[in-house]
């Protein structure tokens, strides 16, 4: 029995073909239309429907490049199932180099959305109805916020869905955070409707970080092989075992001033260790930023100018810190490392 075409936005994609679709989302003040760009790769054989999306936050562009490279993979010629690739969800923010929508709402706090609500609610509802609800599995690509960078990591709610855990272990990021669901997020909506979903966090907003992009592409392909969408999982080297963080917290600025960091992203730190110093421009007032636990630095601020209480270093905690350290070192040694400078 022949497989049915895949339908989206009044378009039909035949089995064994791929097609780009512009999903109408809104208009600019100038009356020029805006579209969410989508590419559908519809395999000849039945299988999962995987949504891979980037740019829910418009300034997080590493995911845009991950999707572009994924679509260039020759392995997709033998795809089973369907890939829905969306490089940019928040097209408003992307055009303006902004995390947010024009009304300053965070699109990733607007799901499931409403057709008669705010701009954020309307965009979320359209994306959900036209695209998200057709997916059986989701990988959502993110980076750190503006002036923050993240070590490559997977965030997922583990323990509630075996398929989510299977995807997380297949991806190959060195760290997995068992992250609580945030109401209004895509992950919250998808998980509650029973759709397995991973969030990949890596790199910095408004930057192309090769050490974040390359493992992102590899990770998505690994997940696709694990799901049976691509052949040859047994012929590929198994990804290193990811270490599950038992928790995480931020070390914050003790005073207002200028930060001079003393540890790098991915570093192992001990409880009470000095992570950096904050001082005023004259050096008259100075405070130390101390680690609140033994752990690994999985995120950090990149802007030296800080205010008291600002989150500066994100520390993940582990049952066996040595194994987490080894996982990070193994991961970094296989890729182009982050810059040597502390900033």
- Report domain extents, the chain: 9-243, 247-317
Give the range among 124-138, 150-164, 327-341 with minimum mean pLDDT: 327-341
CATH number of 247-317: 2.40.50.100
Mean pLDDT taken over the chain: 93
pLDDT of 97 strictly over 60: yes
Distance CA 52, CA 132 (A): 10
Instruction: Give the model confidence (pLDDT) of 208-252 as tens digits.
Output: 999 999 999 999 999 999 999 999 766 666 777 788 999 999 999
pLDDT of 300 strictly over 70: yes
pLDDT of residue 341: 41
Instruction: Give the model confidence (pLDDT) of 171-193 as tens digits.
Output: 999 999 998 899 999 999 999 99
pLDDT of residue 329: 87
Specify the CATH number for 9-243; select among 2.60.40.10, 3.20.20.70, 3.30.420.40, 3.40.630.10. 3.40.630.10
Percent of the chain, pLDDT > 90?
82
Q: 28: pLDDT confidence band, cut at 50, 70 and 90? A: confident
pLDDT of residue 27: 83
- How far apart, in Å, are the Cα atoms of 1 and each of 44, 86, 245? 11, 29, 46
As a three-state string, the secondary structure of the chain is CCCCCEEECCEEECCCEEEEEEEEEEECCCCCEEEEEEEEEECCEEEEEEEEECCCCCCCCHHHHHHHHHHCCHHHHHCEEEEEEECCCCHHHHHCCCCCCCCCCCHHHCCCCCCCCCHHHHHHHHHHHHCHHHCCEEEEEECCCCCEEEEEEEEECCCCCHHHHHHHHHHCCCEEEECCCCCCCHHHHHHHCCCCEEEEEEEECCCCCHHHHHHHHHHHHHHHHHCCCCCCHHHCCCCCCCEEECEEEEEECCCCEEEEECCCCCCEECCCCEEEEEECCCCCCEEEEECCCCEEEEEEECCCEECCCCEEEEEEECCCHHHHHHHHHHHHHCCCCCCCCCC
Instruction: Give the model confidence (pLDDT) of 115-140 as tens digits.
Output: 999 999 999 999 999 999 999 999 99
Q: 161: pLDDT confidence band, cut at 50, 70 and 90? A: confident
Report, as an integer, the average pLDDT of 21-41: 92
Q: 113: pLDDT confidence band, cut at 50, 70 and 90? A: very high
pLDDT of 343 strictly over 50: no
pTM: 0.94
pLDDT of residue 337: 52
């Amino acid at each position: 029995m022949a497989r049915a075409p895949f339908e989206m936005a009044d378009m039909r994609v035949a089995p064994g073909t791929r097609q780009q679709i512009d999903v109408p989302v809104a208009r600019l003040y100038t009356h020029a239309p805006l579209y969410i760009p989508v590419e559908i790769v519809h395999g000849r054989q039945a299988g999962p429907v995987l949504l891979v999306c980037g740019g829910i936050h418009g300034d997080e562009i590493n995911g845009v490049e991950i999707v572009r490279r994924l679509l260039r993979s020759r392995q997709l010629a033998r795809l089973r199932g369907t890939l829905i690739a969306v490089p940019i969800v928040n097209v408003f923010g992307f055009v303006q180099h902004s995390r947010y929508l024009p009304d300053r709402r965070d699109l990733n706090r607007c799901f499931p959305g409403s057709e008669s609500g705010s701009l954020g609610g309307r965009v979320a509802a359209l994306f959900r109805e036209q695209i998200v609800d057709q997916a059986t599995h989701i990988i959502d690509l993110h980076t750190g916020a503006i002036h923050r960078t993240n070590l490559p990591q997977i965030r997922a709610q583990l323990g509630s869905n075996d398929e989510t855990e299977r995807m997380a272990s297949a991806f190959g990021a060195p760290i997995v955070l068992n992250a609580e669901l945030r109401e209004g997020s895509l992950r919250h909506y998808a998980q509650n409707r029973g759709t397995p979903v991973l969030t990949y966090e890596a790199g910095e907003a408004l930057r192309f970080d090769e050490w974040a992009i390359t493992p992102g592409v590899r990770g998505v392909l690994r997940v696709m092989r694990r799901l049976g969408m691509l052949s040859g999982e047994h012929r590929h080297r198994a990804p290193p075992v990811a270490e599950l963080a038992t928790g995480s917290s931020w070390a914050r600025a003790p005073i207002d001033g200028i930060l001079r960091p003393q540890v790098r992203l991915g570093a192992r730190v001990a409880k009470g260790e000095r992570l950096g110093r904050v001082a005023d421009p004259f050096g008259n007032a100075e405070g130390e930023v101390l680690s609140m636990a033994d752990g690994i630095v999985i995120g950090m601020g990149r802007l030296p100018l800080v205010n008291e209480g600002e989150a500066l270093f994100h520390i993940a905690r582990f049952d066996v810190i040595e194994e987490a350290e080894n996982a990070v070192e193994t991961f970094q040694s296989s890729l182009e490392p982050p810059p040597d400078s502390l900033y």
